[in-house]
Amino acid sequence: MKIWQRLAQYLLWFGLALVVAGLVVLVATGEGLAYGFLLPGLVVMGLSLGHLFQRQGWFTNFLGKRSTRMGTNGLVGAIAIVVIFCLTNFLAAQMVVRLDLTETQLYTLSSQTQGVLQNLSQPLTVRIFQGTDDANLEPFLDNYQRLNPRQFRYALVDPNQDIAAARRFNVQSQGEVHLEYGDRTQLVTVLAQGEPLNESLLTNSILRIQGDRQPHFYLLQGHGEPPLDQSPGGLGQMVQLLESQNYQVSPLNLIQNPVLPPDAEAIALIAPQTSLLPEEVNLLQQHLENQGSLLLFLDPQTDPALDNLLDDWGLSLDQHLILDGINRAEFLGLGQSSLLVTEYGAHPITAALTNRMSIYQDVRPLLFDASETIQGTPILSSDAETWAESNPEIPDPTFDPPGDRQGPIPFGWALEKQNPEATMETIRLVAIGNSTFVTNGWLGQYHNSDVFLNTVNWLAKVENAPLAIQPKAAQNRRLNLGRWQIMAIAWLAPIIFPLGGVGAAIFCLWQRR
């Protein structure tokens, strides 16, 4: 027996040595070899501890003092148990087997995401600035972390408590999701309360922040354009969205400084209220000749005096206003001048938008004369239920030919022409007869932001096109409760069962008496 006891004593130290060696290997290399030490070590420790505890006399020899013998025995035993508890869970956390039992595999990441995460060369941190916990968020982000635990980290930050972090990332509202990759930061999205984080969005953001190129997007100013802040009718959300997609956004005033910035890949003229100076138009034409891209959002009842430039592209502005004959935006409290668009032209900008609704208020038609040198696609059009009203000022306008024109009427064009000096490159221009859809409050409606972002990406010739990750959606399931089900629950749950419990308690008391 004594031999066994001595052996168990030595085995305990041997097991401990194996566990320590395993931990050192794990910390140093993180490789599977560590478990070759850890697992046998734990087993040996467990067996020897078990044997030693069974033999109560072991601690007598170990400690010598009889009075403290059993108390110490219990304490050492308890500590050993807690240590084994921690080690067991440490190992279990390293070798996770996870089954996603949701019907639509909500928590299983796509192969594209796995590829993106494997290619991270620097640490990437996702920060979610949100005061409240969300049960969905952590299992989702844990999946990301599991794919590359060395480089991917995430943190749920309460912006009211960690003010330094909130200031560093310029957090404006609850729910903002930010990426940090090396010295770069990027806003991914702003989550509404309880809104899940989308895999497609997060993975594409990770892909984008890894990209080297940061296109510069200039917003022409000086003609009464909407302000670039968060005020109603402003473009603050649009700027925020562009910056979140790794664009550099700057205002550009060609009146004060009539020089084109050398890095201007795309210039946007959004809702000018007054005419541009001829010199400005010349500079814009020059920008296009330099293979730059131009984005025009031109509202009805305005004249930007761009005729020369538009003529070159076969475009002309129409003074009509497109009205919806059956007022489909009425359920949103909007009038006939609001258009809901679900059908788009066949073009890279709108390829992924089929059956996805976007909404526009106060839309002007844009006319395009086809030519051989310019390839034009009507990306946005009203449908057959609309008409172009020639006199929108009158109350309750109706369709009156010949002044009015029956829909469908195109109001958004994507134009492309070959640069005569460089055979491979094309020059791109997008003109849309509406600007409200990108203003604060409207940009987040339906798929307005997708229409805008796809347009800007096409104009800026962003090469790393977003990965087509199918968004995971929950099974669409309803609980259709009949009257009997509701009545049964209403009686059983809060009344009958609790009363039954009370009744049983009273019966027990009565029986005891």
Partner 1 sequence: MLILNNIVAIFRRELQSYFFSPLAYIFAALLWLLGGIFFLTLLIGPQGIITFVATQEQMGGELPPVDVASEFLRAFFGVLGVLVLFLLPLLSMGLYAEERKQGTLELLATSPITNWAVAVGKLLGVLTFFSVLLLPMIIWELIIFTGAEPAFPLGLLLLPHLGLLLLVAAILSLGMFISSLTESSLVAAVLTFGLVLLLWLLDLLGDRLPGVLGAGLKHLSLLRHYNYFLAGILDSSSVVLLLSYSVLGVVLTAQSIEALRWTRR
Q: Which residues bind partner 1 (CB under 8 A)?
A: 69-71, 73-74, 77-78, 81-82, 85-86, 88-90, 92-93, 95-103, 106-107, 135-136, 138-139, 155-156, 331-332, 357, 446, 473-482, 485-486, 488-490, 492-495, 497-502, 504-506, 508-509, 511-512
Q: Which is nearer to partner 1, 224 or 503 (CB)?
A: 503
Q: How are beta strands 293-297 and 426-432 bridged, if at all?
A: parallel
Least spacing, CB of residue 330 vs partner 1, in Å: 10
Measured at the CA of 91, the angle between CA 85 and CA 96, to 5 degrees, comes to: 120
3-class secondary structure, 327: coil
Least spacing, CB of residue 183 vs partner 1, in Å: 20
Least spacing, CB of residue 111 vs partner 1, in Å: 20
Least spacing, CB of residue 17 vs partner 1, in Å: 22
Q: Which is nearer to partner 1, 394 or 509 (CB)?
A: 509
CA distance readout (Å), 157 to 64, 127, 143, 421: 53, 7, 19, 52
Least spacing, CB of residue 80 vs partner 1, in Å: 10
Least spacing, CB of residue 15 vs partner 1, in Å: 18
At a CB cut-off of 8 Å and minimum separation 6, what does 440 contact? 230, 231, 232, 233, 234, 235, 236, 237, 238
Q: Which is nearer to partner 1, 73 or 436 (CB)?
A: 73
Least spacing, CB of residue 58 vs partner 1, in Å: 14
Q: What are phi and psi of 114, to 5 degrees?
A: -60, -40
- The DSSP symbol for 393 reads T
**E strand intervals along 230-291:** 248-252, 266-270
Q: Residue 49: which of 65, 62, 36 has the closest Cα?
A: 62
Q: Which is nearer to partner 1, 422 or 496 (CB)?
A: 496
CB 313 within 8 Å of CB 374: yes
Least spacing, CB of residue 288 vs partner 1, in Å: 37
Is the CA virtual torsion 318, 321, 326, 328 positive or negative? Answer: positive
CB 99 within 8 Å of CB 107: no
Least spacing, CB of residue 488 vs partner 1, in Å: 5
Q: Which is nearer to partner 1, 211 or 441 (CB)?
A: 441
Q: Which is nearer to partner 1, 6 or 98 (CB)?
A: 98
User: How buried is residue 297: exposed, middle or buried, by Cβ count under 10 Å (0-12/13-18/19+)?
Assistant: buried
Q: Which is nearer to partner 1, 262 or 482 (CB)?
A: 482
Copy the structure tokens of residue 479: 């609980």
CA distance readout (Å), 328 to 35, 61, 383, 497: 64, 90, 12, 50
Q: Specify the length of the chain in residues.
A: 513
Q: Alpha-carbon distance 393 to 389, whole Å?
A: 9
**E strand intervals along 336-441:** 338-341, 358-361, 366-368, 374-381, 386-389, 405-406, 410-418, 426-432
Q: Which is nearer to partner 1, 331 or 401 (CB)?
A: 331
Q: Which is nearer to partner 1, 58 or 399 (CB)?
A: 58
Q: Alpha-carbon distance 47 to 41, whole Å?
A: 10
Least spacing, CB of residue 396 vs partner 1, in Å: 24
Least spacing, CB of residue 334 vs partner 1, in Å: 12
Q: Which is nearer to partner 1, 310 or 359 (CB)?
A: 359
- The DSSP symbol for 344 reads B
Q: Which residues of 455-478 are buried (b: 16+ CB within 10 A; e: fewer)?
A: bbbbbbebeeebbebeebeeeeee
Q: Which is nearer to partner 1, 78 or 163 (CB)?
A: 78
Least spacing, CB of residue 143 vs partner 1, in Å: 9
Q: Which is nearer to partner 1, 31 or 289 (CB)?
A: 31
